A = this chain, B = another copy of it.
Amino acid sequence: MAVDPSVAASRSEEAAEAFFHAAPPLHDRDLVAGSLADFVARHSAGSGGVVCVTSGGTTVPLEQRCVRYIDNFSSGQRGAASTEYFLKAGYAVIFIHRRGSKQPYCRFLPEDSFLDLFELGEDLEIQVPQSHSSVVKAAISNYRKAINEGMLLKLPFTTIFEYLQLLQMVANSMNCLGHRAMFYLAAAVSDFYVPWESMAKHKIESAGGPLNMQLNQVPKMLFILRNIWAPSAFCVSFKLETDPNILLQKAEMALKKYGMNVVVANELANYKDVAVMVTRSGRTTVSRSRKEEDMEEQLTNILMKMHSEHIAQHNL
C-alpha cells in the first residue's frame, strides 16, 4: 500500500531532525552564516539566477576522533566545470565543495604537483611553459573576476554531517530568492552513516580479528530540500550507477519520489561522455563528441533554459 504523502513528509522530517540533532555542530557556523547572508542579500537585490552547486564526495567518520572513514568516489570535476559555465552565463554561484576536490578554473592542473607547471627564468622570475601559458593566464583572470565581482562563494565540507548542515543553511538562506534559485546537486552523498553517538571514541583496534560494522541509512534529504527548505527552487539532482540496467529506472524513481525538476542519470563507466536528463516531460541525452570538450557546457545551458521557463511559468 502506498504511504500517504503527508505521512511520508512528516516521517522524513523526523528522520532529518534526529540526524541533525545527533550531528557534531558545524565548525565556524556563524562565520559561514554571515558570508552566506551577505551573498544572498546582494544577489536578491538583482534579477539574475543564483545556483547552489554541490560537488565532491562526503565522508562518513567511523570514529569520533577520526582516523578512518568511508568515502564516496568523486573528483569534483563535474561541479567545478559546471560552476565555470554558470558564472560565464551570469549566474551567482554558491559552491559547496569537498575539501581538496577539483576547483573552478583549476581543473587543468597536473594531478600530482603544481610545480610541474612552473619554471624559473634567467632572472629568477616565475614562468609557465608556452604550451600552458594562455590556459593558466585565463584561469587566473577568470577566477579573480568571479571573486572580485562577488559572484562566487565557496563553502567547504568533509563529512556528511558538515555537508547536510551547509546544504540546509544555504537552502534556508536562498529561500527568499523564490524561483530564481537553482540547486545543482552534483555531490556524491553517502547513503549510509554511523550515528555520532554510537561511534567509537578511539581508533578501532585491529587485533581482534574481522571487523563487523553496521551502518544506518542517511535520511533522504532531497525530499526535505524540495518540500520544506526550498519549495520554489529549480532542483536538479544526479544519479550515478555502475549497472546500466537499473540506471534510468532509478532516475525516474528519484524524479517522482523527491519531486526533482530534473534528474541527470550517469553511468560510472562513461559519466564524462554521456548523461541522460530525465524530466516529467521526457528524456534528453547529452554527450560530447571529443575528449577536449566539457559535457558540462551543454548540460548547464539546457538547465539554465529550463530554469528560465520555470521562472517564467511562475511569474505568469
In the complex, per-residue mask of A58-80: 1 if CB is within 8 Å of any chain B CB, else 0: 01001101111111110000000
23 pairs of residues in contact across A and B, judged by CB atoms under 8 Å: A63-B242, A65-B242, A66-B73, A67-B268, A68-B71, A68-B190, A70-B70, A71-B71, A99-B111, A103-B112, A105-B115, A115-B139, A118-B140, A119-B140, A120-B144, A125-B125, A126-B140, A192-B206, A203-B242, A203-B268, A206-B217, A210-B214, A213-B214
- In the assembled complex, the Cα of A126 lies from the Cα of B117 at a distance in Å of 12
Q: A115-B106, A124-B137, A210-B217 are in contact. Are A62 and B73 (CB under 8 A)?
A: no
Interface bracket on A: 35 or more
Tell whether A268 pairs with B213 under 8 Å between CB atoms, given A103-B112, A115-B143, A206-B191. no
* CA gap between A103 and B112 in the complex, in Å: 7
With a cutoff of 8 Å between Cβ atoms, the chain B residues found around residue A191 in the complex are 204, 206
CA distance A144 to B70 in the complex (A): 36
- Is A211 within 8 A of B215, CB to CB? yes
Bound complex: CA A243 to CA B202 (Å): 6
Report which of B120, B156, B214 forms a contact with A140, defined as CB distance below 8 A: B120
Binary contact track A101-138/B, C-beta < 8 Å → 1, others 0: 00101100101111100111000111110000000110
Tell me, rounded to whole Å, the shortest Cβ–Cβ distance linking A124 to chain B: 6
Check A241 for interface membership: any CB of B closer than 8 A: yes
- Whether the pair A120, B105 counts as a contact (CB closer than 8 A) is no
- Tell whether A150 is near chain B: CB-to-CB under 8 Å: no
A114 touches B109 (CB 8 A): yes
Chain copies in the assembled complex: 2
Write the nearest CB–CB distance from A154 to chain B, whole angstroms: 7
Q: Which 7 A-B pairs have the closest CB atoms?
A: A191-B206, A65-B242, A211-B215, A115-B143, A202-B243, A202-B242, A71-B71
Instruction: Check A6 for interface membership: any CB of B closer than 8 A.
Output: no
- Check if A68 sits within 8 Å of B62, measured CB to CB: no
Q: In this assembly, does A100 line the interface, its C-beta being within 8 Å of a C-beta of chain B?
A: yes
Binding site for B on A (CB under 8 A): 59, 62-63, 65-73, 99-100, 103, 105-106, 109, 111-115, 118-120, 124-128, 136-137, 139-141, 143-144, 154, 156, 188, 190-192, 201-204, 206, 209-217, 240-243, 268-269
Question: Is the pair B128, A126 in contact by a Cβ cutoff of 8 Å?
Answer: yes
State whether A203 touches B112 (Cβ < 8 A): no
Chain B nearest CB from A116 CB (Å) reads: 8
Closest to A134 in B: B124
**In the complex, A141 Cα to B188 Cα: how many Å?**
38
Question: Could you tell me the distance between the alpha carbons of A16 and B132 in the complex, rounded to whole angstroms?
Answer: 45
- Are B119 and A144 touching (Cβ within 8 A)? yes
Q: Which chain B positions have C-beta within 8 A of A109?
A: 114
Which residues on the B side are within 8 Å of A216 (C-beta)?
210
Do A112 and B66 have beta carbons less than 8 Å apart?
A: no
Chain B residues near A67: list those with CB within 8 A: 72-73, 188, 240, 242, 268
From the candidates B69, B113, B115, B118, name the one contacting A70 in the complex (CB within 8 A): B69
